């Protein structure tokens, strides 16, 4: 596990859906996740034709957004490790391509707006440059 990631968000295996950060700015981040071929979920989703459930693809995007918020706050000196990012709203999600075992997903998230401790995002997941999913979502930093 990338120690930078584990220092910024509370997610841990088996529910950590980001392997590494590729690039980040104050308003955007791109990260990557290699989808293991032996995930338990592939046993039932779907037998003979395994594919990553869309909800897990969205989770990878959401965790990438949480990394962006934590990185921005850390850089500004406002990061409080006592707060955790919590998904509060999924405005929209569209799935354009199946994601198969062994593929690498690249997640890009843009911070659209921040109001107090609430952040609004747009995110995209791509495989080999092709859009697999797009979503708009909201996250809040809250005390556990």
Domain chopping of the chain, boundaries: 3-142
Question: How many residues are recorded in the chain?
Answer: 144
CATH class (in words) of the domain with range 3-142: alpha beta
**Residues 6 or more apart whose Cβ sits within 8 Å of residue 30:** 21, 22, 23, 24, 64, 106, 107, 108, 109
pTM: 0.94
The whole-number pLDDT of residue 97 equals 98
How far lies 34's CA from each of 60, 103, 138, in Å?
Answer: 11, 6, 25
Q: For every one of its 144 residues, what pLDDT tens digit does the chain have, with 9 covering 90 and above?
A: 677 899 888 899 999 999 999 999 999 999 999 999 999 999 999 999 999 999 999 999 999 999 999 887 777 666 556 677 899 999 999 999 999 999 999 999 999 999 988 999 999 999 999 999 999 999 998 887
Q: Which residues are catalytic?
A: 45
Helix (H, G, I), strand (E, B) or coil at 8: helix
């Amino acid at each position: 596990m990338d120690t930078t990631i584990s220092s910024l968000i509370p997610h841990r295996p088996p529910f950590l859906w980001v392997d590494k950060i590729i690039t980040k700015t104050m308003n955007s981040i791109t990260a990557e996740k290699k989808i293991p071929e032996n995930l338990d979920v592939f046993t039932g989703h779907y037998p003979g034709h395994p594919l990553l459930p869309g909800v897990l693809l969205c989770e990878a995007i959401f965790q990438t957004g949480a990394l962006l918020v934590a990185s921005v706050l850390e850089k500004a000196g406002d990061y409080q490790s006592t707060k955790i990012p919590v998904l509060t709203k999924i405005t929209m999600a569209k799935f354009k391509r199946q994601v198969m075992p062994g593929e690498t997903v690249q997640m890009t998230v843009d911070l659209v707006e921040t109001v107090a401790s609430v952040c609004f995002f747009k995110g995209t997941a791509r495989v080999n440059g092709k859009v697999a999913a797009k979503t708009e979502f909201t996250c809040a930093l809250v005390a556990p």
